[in-house]
């Protein structure tokens, strides 16, 4: 039963955050390097590129890639 409730909650959360126009994975990949560099420089990336931020909230694959790229950019010896 708890499983059913969790399933429903995840589904509803996804629906709530769904917009008519969203960027897809390929479009986000195109700008992921620019977005990650801006984030590491401390710029307000969510204001600059809100659709990228939204996609990263919706797509775990892209978010993991974004996080991995940021870890490289923030590493001390690179």
Partner 1 sequence: MERTNEQWVSDLRSSGSAQDQALGDLRDKIRKGLPYSLSKWLTPSDPNFDVLADEIVQETLLRVLDHLLSFEGRSKFTTWAHKIAVRIALTELRRKRWEDVSLDEWVQGDDGVSGFDRIAAMTPNPDLSAEQVDIMERIQQVIHDDLSEKQRTALLAIGVHGMPVEEVARRMNMKRNALYKLLHDARLRLKKSMAADGLNPEEILAAFEQG
Binding site for partner 1 (CB under 8 A): 1, 3-5, 7-16, 18, 20, 22, 24-26, 29, 31-34, 36-37, 59-61, 64-65, 67-69, 71-75, 77-78
- What's the closest the beta carbon of residue 76 comes to partner 1, in angstroms? 10
Identity of the residue, 36 or 52, whose beta carbon is nearer to partner 1 in the bound complex:
36
Q: Which of 25, 32, 19, 20 is nearest to 60 (CA)?
A: 25
Q: How far apart are CA 38 and CA 62, in angstroms?
A: 17
Q: Which of 15, 23, 13 is nearest to 50 (CA)?
A: 23
Identity of the residue, 3 or 44, whose beta carbon is nearer to partner 1 in the bound complex:
3
């Amino acid at each position: 039963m708890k499983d059913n409730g969790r399933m429903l909650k995840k589904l509803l959360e996804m629906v709530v955050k769904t917009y008519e126009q969203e960027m897809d994975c390929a479009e986000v990949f195109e700008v992921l390097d620019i977005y990650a560099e801006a984030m590491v420089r401390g710029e307000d990336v969510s204001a600059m590129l809100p659709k990228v931020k939204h996609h990263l909230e919706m797509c775990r694959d892209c978010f993991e890639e974004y996080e991995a790229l940021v870890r490289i950019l923030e590493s001390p010896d690179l």
